[in-house]
Amino acid sequence: PWVDRISADTWRYLLLGLTLPVVGWAGRHFYIRAWQGIRHRAADMNTLIALGTGAAFLFSLATTIVDDWFVARGVSPQVYYEAVVWIIALVLLGNLLEVRAKARTWGALRGLIALRPATARVVRDGIESVIQLNKVRPGDELVVRPGESIPADGIILHGTSHVDESMLTGEPLPVRKQAGDTVIGATLNRNGAFHFRVTGTGQSTVLSQVVRLVREAQGSKPPIQRLADRISAVFVPVVILLALATFVVWFVTGPVPSYLHGLVAAVTVLIIACPCAMGLAVPTAVMVATGRGAELGVLIKGGEALERTGDIDVVVLDKTGTVTEGRPAVRSVQLVSHSAWTEGQVLQLAASVERLSEHPLGEAIVAETERRGLPLIPVREFTTSTGNGVTALVDGHQVVVGRRLFLEEHGVPSKVWLREEVSDQGQTPVYVAVDGSPAAIIGIADPLRATSAAAARSLRQLGLELVMLSGDDRRTAEAVARMIGVDRVVAEVQPAGKLDEIRRLQAEGKTVAMVGDGLNDAPALAQADIGIAMGGGTTVAVEAATITLMRSDLRGVVDGIALSRRTMRIIRQNLFWAFVYNIIGIPLAAGVLYPRFGVLLSPAIAAAAMAAS
């Protein structure tokens, strides 16, 4: 009963007092941004919110201060303060939901950063001590005990353990680590102790690079976002014109007081048409997708890469280090008939030459020779032909090691070689000749990754064409391709040949993804529509790629493509429903149902509908 004893004037001033903090403080940025947009001749969501709530607030302010003027003209002084408050509150609620979505995408990274210890156990001059993490420098020797987080990136010097890298790579099982293996800062050491040499601290660590890439990706715009922005730039002025037209129609044809009905209908049109859904449809999806990709160990460099990945037609796989583990080893040594050399002597001569080469197959020959305890012999007149072979004088003998064609170029006849059973077994043949005569074929095998066949099968199920590139001879490459189920093989290609193959596929109108890990893959990765670098690859390959897999597993390619396709489907659905909502909502707000059904939407209901969209 006491409510009835308070005058309408008092209520209006009370509501004004409650609304001012909402307009002047909580929602002030809407008006500031709208004014900045008008100064730059641009209109966006803030323009519609500012116009709608501003018109409702100013009209209510006028009826509060000069209510007698309205009464004298037969108009009851109505106020719409509650609509202003509801509109701003609901838009802010939408902003809050957006921020929460963004916060969730950073949850995994924040959790990983939180695992980074504040201190590190360092060994200097043979003395072990504990120092602050920010005092650790590259080259320091650190000690990690069971259950501790690894302080920085580095290479294990001695000791073995299993390291949980799941927060960074998405790999659920701990990874065995031993001397020579790399470790990543902030990952968790499980059950062993080891010493490692620091290679990266601060901003140079893998973790910092992951955070930077995810932040850049979430701040970038895919092409579909630019389309949505262009539509919004036209949409906002059109809505303003529709609101003005609504006011005019109500003013001319509406019931008394027609201008009041016209004003409320115009404000309702402005509010219900706020393109919140349109503005959030793309960036929120990109934000969540790139964050989810980081959780899966798939780093996507930007919104454009995210969008284009879903359009891939062909996936080109480099063999060594991608399909295989990239750890070649000698499996057999076949001596040529009537060879004057023993198996050990051939290995010793070949390894002495290959010691000066950086080719992975050469490293395998050197490693096998060292395993057998055979000493290496000094060489003279060493020459190399990248990807083909090497020559040198070893203990007075001219030794040539490499491809069959390379040996033919050096005058070694090819018809005397044995039948290449090693190629049929998936081994790469390396030919060795001494003093112009064939000596032996060394069979080198690089084991397949355990997940390569399953990943290839999943890629085919996605409707993708698979091509495998290899510098190996054709029979070896085809044997590996049969093992994983790839039909098309391009073998015996140099780095330039890989680049040409990518260009040829693109000339056929196909969208091509290249997956590689080595220095020689960098040109092809850069040329491909989407370059995907394996996490264990070289820095050059990772920099040239648009997607980096934090784990050396081809299933990451499947995850990346599936994530892109699902994200783009969600984005298109978001934009579709945003437009459908406006096509239905604007006529309702304008009062199209009023003549027949007497139904009108209030600005507050329009604000609720806009936020719900």
Active-site residue set: 318
Distances in Å between the Cα of 428 and the Cα atoms of 432, 470, 471, 515, 562 are 13, 11, 10, 21, 34
Do 285 and 578 meet the contact criterion of CB atoms below 8 Å apart?
no
User: What's the rounded Cα separation, in Å, for the pair 314 and 464?
Assistant: 6
Query: Hey, which bits of 322-449 come out as E strands?
Result: 329-335, 379-385, 389-394, 397-402, 428-434, 437-445
User: What's the rounded Cα separation, in Å, for the pair 432 and 442?
Assistant: 8
Among 206, 437, 430, 256, which Cα is nearest to 330's? Answer: 430
CA 580 distance to own-chain centroid: 31
Burial of 534 from C-beta contacts in 10 A (0-12 / 13-18 / 19+): buried
Distances in Å between the Cα of 594 and the Cα atoms of 164, 530, 587, 604 are 65, 54, 11, 18
Are β-strands 153-159 and 127-132 bridged in parallel, bridged antiparallel, or unpaired?
unpaired
Do 286 and 217 meet the contact criterion of CB atoms below 8 Å apart?
yes
Q: What SS3 class is residue 298? A: strand
DSSP 322: I
Q: What SS3 class is residue 601? A: coil
Dmax over CA atoms of the chain, in Å, equals 122
User: Which tokens belong to 87?
Assistant: 């509109």
HEC string for 200-251:
ECHHHCHHHHHHHHHHHHHHCCCHHHHHHHHHHHHHHHHHHHHHHHHHHHHH
Cis? peptide before 413, omega within 30° of 0: no
The C-alpha torsion from 549 through 552 and 558 to 563, rounded to 10°, is: -30
User: Which tokens belong to 212?
Assistant: 């930077």
User: What's the rounded Cα separation, in Å, for the pair 532 and 244?
Assistant: 52
Do 457 and 510 meet the contact criterion of CB atoms below 8 Å apart?
no
User: What's the rounded Cα separation, in Å, for the pair 222 and 302?
Assistant: 7
